[in-house]
Structure 1
Amino acid sequence: MTLAIQIVQFVLIISILVILHEMGHFLPAKYFKTKVEKFYLFFDVKFSLFKKKIGDTEYGIGWLPLGGYVKISGMIDESMDTEQMKQEPQPWEFRSKPAWQRLIIMTGGVIVNFLLAWVIYTMLLFNNGDTYIPSDNLKYGILVDSIGEQLGLRTGDQILQVDDKKTRKFNQAVLDIILGDEVTVKRDGQEITVPLSDEGKETVFATQGKNFLGYRSKAVISKVIDTSAAKRAGIMAGDEIVAINGSPVTFWDEFTTIIKSSPSKQLSLEVKRDGSLETIPLTVPKEGKIGVYPDIEDLWVTDDYGFFEAIPAGYKRTIQVLTDQIRQFKVIFNTKTGAYKQVKGPIGIVEMMPVTWDWTFFWSFMAMFSVWLAFLNILPIPALDGGHVMFLLYEIISGRKPSEKVLETGQIIGFVILMGLMLVVFGNDIWNIVKRFL
């Protein structure tokens, strides 16, 4: 049942995005009186699941859920239907329209994707506000594991800026560190700049960034499990651990490190309770866990937005997401980071979906993916919208149309590039599944 929910969420998100993207091509094409032969959700290779012709256009649903398309008369596209191009141009064909109209038709899908993300982020900010941890709230600094240390960070560092950008939000700083080149931190009272190693990033991507960076908290206990060793020893919620076997303890990570490294040993804990100090003997179970939870400070804040305030904030969020995705390409194409191995296809994306229906995640993911589709489609690769735009801009600037032979060759090259990328993406998905059983 949980897998079904994940699949339904993914298919619904992709379906909405594809339909709206193709509407971005379809509507201006119809407005400029250009004949649209097909409008399809998903690809109808050999056959379709559903089709119905209304007017000049066949509307349908294909069986291959890798996108969708509109087939516009008189246009060299991924269908490679060159027979029509041998005929004399007709007034209703794409090739007969002025270059500026063709440019609007080709950029329509990308524009719709961008505007959709803007609208969704605006409404999310208006309804939910913006919840984050201000970097200034981390008065005890960050907490890193061995992966964070491999990047060059240390527990207790206070992040000041990544590259040349001041870190206002801690959760944004985590992404900035993965995508950045260097981080400036305050360490032992001094400001130092740490280069972020490619080897460290490779490990981050290999583990999908789990828990490599968090924030430090005091060694204060919020909850004690009833059947735990801590409960039997007399430890109570609200206790602050100040020393173990006479050695001072300040932070939760110091406390847990000692506990984990002392299985089956007896320790003497000095705790502060109601303003006074008490000594508690404790025998650590062999699994190195005593059954307590930390008292995590409420560091999160929420900025609320009125409707008209949310509009520019939604635009800013959309631009930020787009900027982050462009920066990701730099990391992906750096083979030293191994980030290309973590690029996910449909199978990997389905696994990212929550196992219960979550509307906030649904709309947030749709907005993010809409920006991603806009960015990918505008890349100047033949067979993508950006490839068509590239040739159109050449025509507008030079005053000459590229020959049909050039356009056909470009489509073939672009198709080969896209198929190669799809093989890498699906290969990653399949390999990640196989690894679980090795």
Structure 2
Amino acid sequence: MHPYLIIAINFLMSLSLLIVLHELGHFIPARIFKTRVEKFYLFFDIKYSLFKKQIGETLYGIGWLPLGGYVKISGMIDESMDKEQMAQEPKEWEFRSKPAWQRLIIMLGGVVVNVVVGFIIYIGLIAYDGTNEANGTDYKYGFGFPETLEKIGFEQGDQILLLDKDTIAYAPSFNHKLIFRDIKTVTVLRNGQPVEITIPEDIGNRLFEAGVSTSLEARFPFKIDSVQAGTIAAEIGLKKDYKIISVANYPVEFNTDYTYAINHKVTDSIPFELVYQDSNGTEFIKTVDFNGERKTLGIYKYSTDKNYAKVERKQYTFSESITAGISQGYWTMHDYIVQFKYVFTKKGASQLGGFGTIAKLYPDTFDWAGFWATTAFISFILAIMNILPIPALDGGHVMFLLYEIITGRKPGDKFLERAQIIGIVILLSLMLYANGNDLFKAIFG
């Protein structure tokens, strides 16, 4: 089966599950408070349904447009914009007839369910499969650091020991923590001696603007494992077991040296020298020019030292997995919320993605651990995005309900209708922009 098809299947299965659970979060408290639910739909049924069945007061169905789902609750100003119903006298079973605190619980239900589902999945994954553990000294050759971190005191080969005096359970997550956490100091092991480095307050912004990956790259001595067809590497004759000696006069001993040279020593559209050895030790010099295209030779690497890293799988008892899963869920939400400060930048806006970007988070094989980990992450994203105080989202309804509870004054129906329309326009604009970014990247790279 083609990887893209597997991604699509994973994406639709996960999205369908999360949408149904989210809408159940609204449906169940609505029924508890004796509020009529007219429709319960997976996906949107604009003029057409793939499936529908009336059960009691509620029409259950599946729409043809997979952009979400909804429950239509009687007496509520929502995306259906049912003005005819709202023009009639309120009925006791309608949403608008219920006390504000009940309406608040109904509107918060979907977000609460998404948060709980995320925690449950993380707890289950950790109980079943554990987590990776490897501190800085478990990496024999240390790590390769981008130029941004070199400028504040890191050196190639440093081994991460402490973040603000605390150990780091999995050292490759170091960059992620610098970008999303408030780290003040980092202690590294350098030439057998601990060295403390002070971290600037704006390091997250610096790393984000520099396009630094959230994963820190471990160093290892390497040779070429394979070459992609139709690439520069294939054109100049690189083959399996060849060894790269230097790139643009920058010595290459480890894989991270190669990455560093390509990113920081090679200038777009300016030819550079590549020095390499074949499998017999004969040295060659080739002139390479990326011609303004993506800076890559097209090689895959393998480590000549299989013991360069010692990564262990930590197993948990069920009670331990509850604590660990809640912690992972908390930090996942924390880091996702923090990333909003990067979204509202020129670079962040250009990277905003839609359904294509989300789909790429899923594995391209039937890897169920990967599937559930991504589902948990998306569940948290749905919760956070839905609680944003934008009319037409759950958060918009919550905002107006809190205003009503605090002031004792209910916003007028006309105001809520206009706010709903504005919210829908905002959401459609964001959706068009995000998916437009995906389309642009797919076409132009």
TM-score relative to the length of structure 2: 0.78
Residue 17 (structure 2) aligns with: 16
- 1:151 shift after superposition: 8.7
- 1:324 shift after superposition: 0.7
Letter of the structure 1 residue corresponding to residue 218 of structure 2: Y
| CA contact 1:43–1:67 (8 Å) conserved in 2 | yes
Letter of the structure 2 residue corresponding to residue 86 of structure 1: A
Residue 268 (structure 2) aligns with: none
- Residue of structure 1 aligned with 2:320, choices 275, 298, 309: 309
Give the SS at the match of 1:204: coil
- Residue of structure 2 aligned with 1:215, choices 195, 213, 218: 218
| CA contact 1:77–1:383 (8 Å) conserved in 2 | yes
Residue 274 (structure 1) aligns with: none
Residue 318 (structure 1) aligns with: 329
Q: Do the aligned partners of residues 403 and 163 (structure 1) sit closer, same or farther apart at CA in structure 2, a change above 3 Å counting? A: farther
| CA contact 1:229–1:283 (8 Å) conserved in 2 | no
Whole-angstrom distance in 1 between the partners of 2:394 and 2:312: 41
Give the SS at the match of 1:367: helix
| CA contact 2:224–2:301 (8 Å) conserved in 1 | no
Letter of the structure 2 residue corresponding to residue 375 of structure 1: I
Residue 73 (structure 1) aligns with: 74
- 1:230 shift after superposition: 9.8
1:193 equivalent to 2:214? Answer no
| CA contact 2:163–2:185 (8 Å) conserved in 1 | yes
Whole-angstrom distance in 1 between the partners of 2:109 and 2:157: 49
- 1:284 shift after superposition: 2.7
Q: Do the aligned partners of residues 255 and 24 (structure 1) sit closer, same or farther apart at CA in structure 2, a change above 3 Å counting? A: closer
1:106 equivalent to 2:110? Answer no
Letter of the structure 2 residue corresponding to residue 361 of structure 1: G
Q: Do the aligned partners of residues 39 and 220 (structure 1) sit closer, same or farther apart at CA in structure 2, a change above 3 Å counting? A: closer
Whole-angstrom distance in 2 between the partners of 1:62 and 1:265: 60
1:263 equivalent to 2:275? Answer yes
| CA contact 1:110–1:374 (8 Å) conserved in 2 | yes
Residue 178 (structure 1) aligns with: 179
Whole-angstrom distance in 1 between the partners of 2:210 and 2:359: 23
- 1:263 shift after superposition: 3.1
Name the larger-Rg structure: 1
Matches within 5 A, 1:308-347: 308-335=319-346, 338-347=347-356
| CA contact 1:142–1:215 (8 Å) conserved in 2 | yes
Give the SS at the match of 2:339: helix
1:295 equivalent to 2:293? Answer no
Residue 5 (structure 2) aligns with: 4
1:282 equivalent to 2:285? Answer no
Q: For residues 356-395 of structure 1, what are the alpha-carbon distances to aligned partners after superposition, in whole Å with 9 as ceiling and x for unaligned?
A: 2110110000000001111111111111111111111111
Whole-angstrom distance in 2 between the partners of 1:27 and 1:230: 60
Give the SS at the match of 1:314: helix
- 1:306 shift after superposition: 0.9
Residue 145 (structure 2) aligns with: 144
Listed as ranges, the gaps of 5+ residues in structure 1 are 236-242, 267-279
Give the SS at the match of 1:263: strand
Q: Do the aligned partners of residues 376 and 281 (structure 1) sit closer, same or farther apart at CA in structure 2, a change above 3 Å counting? A: closer
Residue 365 (structure 1) aligns with: 374
Listed as ranges, the gaps of 5+ residues in structure 2 are 227-237, 262-271, 287-296
- 1:122 shift after superposition: 0.7
Residue 202 (structure 1) aligns with: 209
> Which 10-residue stretch deviates more, 290-299 or 95-104?
290-299
Give the SS at the match of 1:40: strand
Whole-angstrom distance in 1 between the partners of 2:357 and 2:256: 36
| CA contact 1:15–1:41 (8 Å) conserved in 2 | yes
- 1:4 shift after superposition: 1.5
Give the SS at the match of 2:389: coil
Whole-angstrom distance in 2 between the partners of 1:419 and 1:290: 41
Q: For residues 34-63 of structure 1, what are the alpha-carbon distances to aligned partners after superposition, in whole Å with 9 as ceiling and x for unaligned?
A: 110111111112222222211111111111
Letter of the structure 2 residue corresponding to residue 317 of structure 1: Q
Letter of the structure 1 residue corresponding to residue 94 of structure 2: E
Matched length: 400
Give the SS at the match of 2:144: strand
Whole-angstrom distance in 2 between the partners of 1:291 and 1:171: 18
Residue 291 (structure 2) aligns with: none
Q: Identity rate of aligned residues, in percent?
A: 44
| CA contact 1:19–1:41 (8 Å) conserved in 2 | yes
Whole-angstrom distance in 1 between the partners of 2:71 and 2:17: 15
Letter of the structure 2 residue corresponding to residue 201 of structure 1: F
| CA contact 2:144–2:257 (8 Å) conserved in 1 | no
> Which 10-residue stretch deviates more, 342-351 or 12-21?
342-351
| CA contact 2:145–2:154 (8 Å) conserved in 1 | yes
Residue 64 (structure 1) aligns with: 65
- 1:142 shift after superposition: 2.0
Letter of the structure 2 residue corresponding to residue 315 of structure 1: I
Whole-angstrom distance in 1 between the partners of 2:208 and 2:43: 36
Whole-angstrom distance in 2 between the partners of 1:139 and 1:183: 26
Q: For residues 160-214 of structure 1, what are the alpha-carbon distances to aligned partners after superposition, in whole Å with 9 as ceiling and x for unaligned?
A: 6668986443233221233357764457664232442746523417xxx38x731
Instruction: Please report the RMSD computed on the Cα atoms of aligned residues, expressed in angstroms.
Output: 3.7
Whole-angstrom distance in 1 between the partners of 2:276 and 2:142: 32
Residue 84 (structure 2) aligns with: 83
Matches within 5 A, 1:341-356: 341-356=350-365
Letter of the structure 2 residue corresponding to residue 324 of structure 1: D
Give the SS at the match of 2:410: coil
Residue 389 (structure 1) aligns with: 398
Q: Do the aligned partners of residues 307 and 265 (structure 1) sit closer, same or farther apart at CA in structure 2, a change above 3 Å counting? A: closer
